[in-house]
Structure 1
Amino acid sequence: MPEGKAARLLSGDTFDLHAAIGGWRGFVESSLPGIVFVVAYLVWGGFRVPVLAAAGVMVVLVGVRLIQRTPVTQALAGAAGVAIGAIWAWRSGDAAGYFEPGMWVNAAYLAGILISMLVGWPAVGIVMGLIRGDGTAWREHPSERRRYQLASGVLAAMFALRLAVQLPLLLADQLAVLGTVKLAMGVPLFALTLWGVWLLSRDAAPARAPQDPPPTTR
């Protein structure tokens, strides 16, 4: 999901699950290349046909968006991920390479969020400060800092769970199972995690909204 859309979801008064998965079309666009990769791998094996099939589907999806003149941001984000995985697999000569960049991305996000929590600058707090225009004012309020620490912990848990489940499958060369699990732990899990982050973050700023001064007595 593009960062701008995630920011709009987190800043809203209600959480739109349909928007969180990118709508049904966005969900299909993010899932179809992975499904095609798994099916092609089961049918043909090797790495060339699955990689080319997944890349071809992604090109078609982006092309349809361009022809219809509809927003291509989400499709292009998915295309970038497919392209990187395809190049990695092609260079390594192994279908497992298709999944390796995703592992590194999850590990990098996990490390970044954990470091932000350890140094007292939780990633969710930084993002919400930018979204709400509060800057770093939230750091002066212990209750807000705790909320953002918890919300960042929820986000970190998602990346940790992905690695804990998917990495052993990659190392065991269970690529068909890995492809299926990756789909389930992709957009659906991210949307659920974003909902948890929203629940923890939504009341932080209103809790410290400036109050009107009490009326003076004469």
Structure 2
Amino acid sequence: MSDSEQARPLTGTVAGDAVEPGVTPSTGEATEPGDAPEGGTAAAKPARGVYQLAGEDFSLAEAIGGWRGVVESALPGLVFVVVYVAVRELQPALVASISVAALAVLVRLVQRTPVTQAFSGILGIGIGVLWAWRTGEAQDFFAYGLWVNVAWCAGALISVLVRWPAVGVIVSFVRGEDMSWRLDTRPAAQALRRRYVWATLLWVGVFGARLAVQVPLYLQGEDAVGWLGTAKLVMGVPLFAAGLYVTWLLVRGSGAPREPSRPPLDP
């Protein structure tokens, strides 16, 4: 059994876009930091994706959830944008979006395939639908996802400032290692700590980039809903997958420094 196989979880999932209304692996179960991708299944996406960081091989299909995961993640938001731009009415767009998310759950139930991702997707879409319905503003369909990115960006940055870089904590947990690298003064541990810090700052950049692009579009109101939806799709799964791959490059082959072996004692 390869290292990457040993690293895969036996069940289910974990945050980010998280990430936001987002995706997961080829089994269909949920990733994320989150959108961790973006869209409706963000909460599930990062969970499976982060296990890629524990192996020696990186699978893009596993990281983004396979094509079915991508479709289930992106389609509700895409349908919302298309319907709203076409008819310029909020209610039909909300109904169409939540219907697509509900259909994904129904299909999985009928096929008796894992529904974790689909359920998390309909939850994220449901929050967006309720938010927009209560305010009557189409751009509020995406407000929840923006706040999720704010939370992940702030959390990742704070983790670096308090010297508990989030990527290091997650990778150590996935690998079953302790956190001794935080205080270890040996050169190997210091190098490992720097890699974890840079990897965490990478995600600060990912979430920050989403906010830098999408918040101005959100503030433009209903006239920019089409562009906002497009930006969320482009900066959702593709950006998440790219960020996860670069993170893997930074942390692969790393591990908690081991104590040097001692020579056997003379009898």
User: TM-score when scaled to structure 2?
Assistant: 0.77
The CA deviation at 1:210 is 4.7
Cα distance in 2 between the residues matched to 1:165 and 1:178: 9
The CA deviation at 1:132 is 1.4
The CA deviation at 1:203 is 2.2
Superposed structure 1 runs of 4+ greater than 3 Å apart: 209-218
C-alpha distance after superposition, 1:89-145 (max 9, x if no partner): 011111111011111110011111111101111111111121112121121221111
Match of 1:196 in 2: 246
The structure richer in helix per residue is: 1
Amino acid at match of 1:189: L
| Greater RCO (CA < 8 Å, at least 6 residues apart) | 1
Match of 1:156 in 2: 204
Cα distance in 1 between the residues matched to 2:200 and 2:246: 10
CA contact (8 A) 1:46 1:94 kept: no
Higher mean C-alpha deviation, range 130-139 or range 94-103: 130-139
Identity %: 47
CA contact (8 A) 2:49 2:64 kept: no
Cα distance in 1 between the residues matched to 2:249 and 2:120: 26
User: TM-score when scaled to structure 1?
Assistant: 0.94
Residues paired across the two proteins, number: 217
Of residues 131, 142, 153, the one that matches 1:99 is: 142
Amino acid at match of 1:181: A
Match of 1:26 in 2: 69
Higher mean C-alpha deviation, range 197-206 or range 39-48: 197-206
Output aligned runs, 1:102-113, within 5 Å: 102-113=145-156
Output aligned runs, 1:135-150, within 5 Å: 135-139=178-182, 140=184, 141-150=189-198
Cα distance in 1 between the residues matched to 2:251 and 2:68: 28
Unaligned runs of 5+ in 2: 1-30, 32-43
CA-based RMSD:
1.6
1:117 aligns with 2:160: yes
Cα distance in 2 between the residues matched to 1:216 and 1:110: 52
Of residues 104, 129, 138, the one that matches 2:172 is: 129
C-alpha distance after superposition, 1:158-177 (max 9, x if no partner): 00000000111111120001
CA contact (8 A) 1:113 1:156 kept: yes
The CA deviation at 1:6 is 2.2
